[in-house]
Amino acid sequence: MNITVVGASGLIGAKVVELLRLGGHNVVAASRRSGVDSVTREGLADALSGADVLVDVTNSSEWDPDAVMAFFTSSTTNLVEAARSAGVGHYVALSIVGVDGVDAGYFRAKVAQERLISGAGLPYSIVRATQFAEFADGIIASLTVGDEVRVPDALIQPIPADDVAAAIARVAVAEPINGLVNIGGPRTITFEQMARERLARNGTGPRAIIVDPDARYYGAALSMGSLVTPDAG
């Protein structure tokens, strides 16, 4: 099978490329490093020439809500058009569990991406993953003010990047589902528990961990099950 992975230099993309190649597939690893830019369209046509499957694991380098929205709408529109022109038979994209229930700029941009893909008329599969385990320290840092970690009263279900990549690789070589699949980590825990475990593991010393109903997750209010798979919440 001929598969083009766009966003191939990122955390997930590099792992997906390796897994697919180990599976015997012909893989084009496309990224800005290889001269392929999904926003400017540079190199897209060549990267998708002869591809049976497009795996879209692109990501914005900026976090400003307007910039993120501009990136995903431009990138996805260009990828859809290029995939259609190349006769790609399966568009696979990575998204976020609960993305349509969290009011934050990055999540809104991912919803826009999903809608562009599902409305494009191409066979597609969208893999929604919970928050990556590798991002736990960054999440805790974002919730830290002085000596306090103020966490939302909510659940989180960290998933290792290796598991995300494996799921995407499986979906890429299967038939399109023309819908969504949710994947999550092996444990569903509270933000408070995650913070306690990570701080203890990192040996950063005692800090006050406070469950704060007003705490925001990158600017968004969370309900208890916002970030976990439907069967876990």
pLDDT at 86: 97
* Residue whose entry in the numeric block shows the structure tokens 């826009």: 112
Give the alpha-carbon dihedral of 219, 67, 74, 136, to 10 degrees: -40
Contact, 184 vs 228, CB < 8 A?
A: yes
Q: Would you kindly state where each structural domain of the chain is located, as residue ranges?
A: 2-133+158-186
Q: How many CA atoms lie within 13 A of 207 on its CB side?
A: 25
Neighbours of 12 (CB within 10 A): 23
Query: For 37-52, how does the pLDDT look when each residue is reduced to its tens digit (9 = 90+)?
Result: 999 999 999 999 999 9
Query: For 120-153, how does the pLDDT look when each residue is reduced to its tens digit (9 = 90+)?
Result: 999 999 999 999 999 999 999 999 988 899 999 9
Determine the Cα–Cα distance for residues 77 and 232; give it in Å rounded to an integer: 33
pLDDT at 4: 98
Query: For 209-230, how does the pLDDT look when each residue is reduced to its tens digit (9 = 90+)?
Result: 999 989 999 889 999 999 999 9
Residue closest to 161 by CA, chosen among 137, 185, 144: 185
**Residue scoring higher pLDDT (233 or 9):** 9
Contact, 136 vs 158, CB < 8 A?
A: yes
Contact, 92 vs 168, CB < 8 A?
A: yes
Residue type, 188: T
- Return the CATH class of domain 2-133+158-186: alpha beta
Q: CA angle, corner 157, sides to 71 and 113, nearest 5?
A: 20
